């Protein structure tokens, strides 16, 4: 998937992946996509909740070699 910014949160535990994601989303424009990589086991639940609360769109997530990769589209706030 095409993305505009990649954020590496591998090895970080909650809430740091969400905070890194938020910083990344704040640095891109509306409708751009962020790719964030994490190894936090609760990340799927956390990112799903984060997107529901903030209005950003969780486009997809995949797991590759114990790393979960999320693609999130920034919405206009």
Residues tagged active-site: 14
CA distances (Å), origin 6, targets 9, 58: 10, 15
Are 72 and 58 in contact by the 8 Å Cβ rule? The answer is yes
Closest CA to 25 of 68, 65, 55: 55
């Amino acid at each position: 998937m095409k993305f505009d910014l990649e954020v590496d949160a591998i090895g970080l535990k909650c809430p740091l992946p969400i905070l890194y994601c938020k910083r990344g989303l704040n640095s891109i424009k509306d409708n751009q996509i962020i790719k964030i990589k994490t190894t936090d086991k609760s990340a799927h639940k956390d990112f799903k909740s984060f997107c529901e609360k903030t209005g950003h769109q969780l486009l997809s997530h995949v797991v590759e070699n114990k790393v979960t990769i999320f693609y999130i589209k920034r919405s206009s706030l």
